[in-house]
Amino acid sequence: MERKKVTILDLQEKKQRGEPITMLTAYDYPTALLVDRAGIDIILVGDSLAMVVLGHENTVAVTMDEMLHHCRAVARGAKYPLLVGDMPFLSYQVDRREAVRNAGRFLKEGGMDVVKLEGGQEMADTVKAIVDAGIPVMGHIGLTPQSISKLGGFRVQGKSVEAAKKLLADAAALEEAGAFSIILEAVPDRLAKLITERVKIPTIGIGAGPHCDGQVLVIHDLIGLFDRFTPKFVKRYANIFPILTQALEQYRQEVLSGAFPGREHSFTMPDEVYEALLRELE
């Protein structure tokens, strides 16, 4: 069957059929190409690039211009997945009109299909304003990395009755505001199940157990390319950091020893041309 571009409607139909949704991050052309070819439904150009690509301690430092730069690269590499641009810190929290304008830039300048932003009830009006402007929005509740200082670190959310009720209310508010999907991050599995059952829009889990409508991981965690830490909820499907390190070390050694480049890696000049050149130089 011919593969077609994934749409928001496709995701809604997957939820209704009980068919899992697949989602991964990508931050550049070659990675987007790989994720696309793997048949993944959604690519998130996440603000996690601040940490795994740009080397910052958290996601707060990444800028709109940096996000758009990476979005454009991903858009050039991915043809079929739904493309989600992650709105960075302070691009939507301060002013609603500025939030709509920045969301529009992700579509107009970044080549994204939709945007994602963090926050629940407190962001519902902003979500509605962006949706009313014709820009689809994916919500994000639970552990929201842009608010990591307020949350007291990378901790599981919704562990008390009151905290769980707030997350349920957050999900309902985002759905009411027009969000087409919600990411649930670092949420207890049974609470994620309750949220998934109570909202009509798809939920995508990251550290939220098996009962969400879909799953997302940071690709650098999945393939073992980020060396600082690995979250508990990550399953590492490959560990390429030591493989790449070994390859680079071997390259260094072969350059030092003269083993590289060999004749097979070099361009040769015909003998008669070389000899003529030497005569010219005499």
Instruction: Please check whether residues 114 and 253 belong to one and the same domain.
Output: no
DSSP letters spanning 30-80: HHHHHHHHTT-SEEEE-TTHHHHTT--SSSTT--HHHHHHHHHHHHHH-SS
pLDDT at residue number 146: 84
The answer to whether position 95 is within a domain reads: yes
Instruction: Please check whether residues 187 and 168 belong to one and the same domain.
Output: yes
Of the residues 13, 185, 197, 264, only one is catalytic, namely 185
pLDDT at residue number 150: 63
The conformation of residue 147, written as its DSSP 8-state character, comes to G
Instruction: Please check whether residues 176 and 247 belong to one and the same domain.
Output: no
Instruction: Please check whether residues 72 and 146 belong to one and the same domain.
Output: yes
CA 48/CA 118 separation, integer angstroms: 13
The answer to whether position 170 is within a domain reads: yes
Instruction: Please check whether residues 256 and 275 belong to one and the same domain.
Output: yes
The answer to whether position 200 is within a domain reads: yes
Which run of H or of E encompasses 84? Answer: strand 82-86
Instruction: Please check whether residues 205 and 79 belong to one and the same domain.
Output: yes
The answer to whether position 258 is within a domain reads: yes
pLDDT at residue number 152: 58
CA 42/CA 256 separation, integer angstroms: 44
Query: Would the pLDDT of 227 be above 90?
Result: no
CA 153/CA 126 separation, integer angstroms: 25
Q: Which domain holds residue 268?
A: 243-281
Query: Would the pLDDT of 153 be above 90?
Result: no
Instruction: Please check whether residues 270 and 193 belong to one and the same domain.
Output: no
- Please give the tally of structural domains in the chain: 2
pLDDT at residue number 148: 66
CATH code for position 34: 3.20.20.60
pLDDT at residue number 229: 76
101-132: per-residue pLDDT in tens? 999 999 999 999 999 999 999 999 999 999 99
Region class of 69: left (phi > 0), else alpha (psi between -120 and 50), else beta: alpha
The answer to whether position 64 is within a domain reads: yes
Instruction: Please check whether residues 126 and 266 belong to one and the same domain.
Output: no
Instruction: Please check whether residues 228 and 248 belong to one and the same domain.
Output: no
Question: Would you call 206 helix, strand, or coil by DSSP?
Answer: strand
Instruction: Please check whether residues 149 and 274 belong to one and the same domain.
Output: no
Tell whether pTM > 0.75.
yes
Instruction: Please check whether residues 159 and 66 belong to one and the same domain.
Output: yes
Give the distance from CA 242 to its chain's centroid. 23
Cα of first residue to Cα of last residue in the chain, in angstroms, is 68
55-72: per-residue pLDDT in tens? 999 999 999 999 999 999
The answer to whether position 2 is within a domain reads: no
The answer to whether position 96 is within a domain reads: yes
For the chain, what is the mean pLDDT? 95
- Whether the ω angle into residue 261 lies within 30 degrees of 0, i.e. cis, is yes
pLDDT at residue number 124: 98
Who contacts 276 (Cβ-Cβ below 8 Å, separation ≥6)? none
Instruction: Please check whether residues 106 and 169 belong to one and the same domain.
Output: yes
Query: Would the pLDDT of 151 be above 60?
Result: no
- Please indicate whether residue 122 is annotated as part of the active site: no
Buried b / exposed e across 184-214, counting CB within 10 Å, b at 16+?
Answer: bbbbbeebbbbbbeebebbbbbbbbbebbbb
% of the chain beyond a pLDDT of 90: 91
**Inter-residue contact 14 to 21 (CB < 8 Å):** yes
pLDDT at residue number 271: 96
CA 191/CA 197 separation, integer angstroms: 10
- pLDDT mean over 202-224: 97
- pLDDT mean over 173-199: 98
Cα–Cα distances (Å) from 174 to 37, 123, 138, 163, 202, in that order, read 32, 8, 9, 17, 12
Question: Would you call 275 helix, strand, or coil by DSSP?
Answer: helix
Q: Between these two residues, 144 and 29, which has the higher pLDDT value?
A: 29
Confidence of residue 2 (pLDDT cuts 50, 70, 90): confident
Query: Would the pLDDT of 76 be above 70?
Result: yes
- pLDDT mean over 180-191: 97
pLDDT at residue number 254: 98
- pLDDT mean over 195-217: 98
232-276: per-residue pLDDT in tens? 889 999 999 999 999 999 999 999 999 999 999 999 999 999 999
Question: Would you call 124 helix, strand, or coil by DSSP?
Answer: helix
Which run of H or of E encompasses 2? Answer: none
- Token pair 């889990």 in the structure block, residue: 205
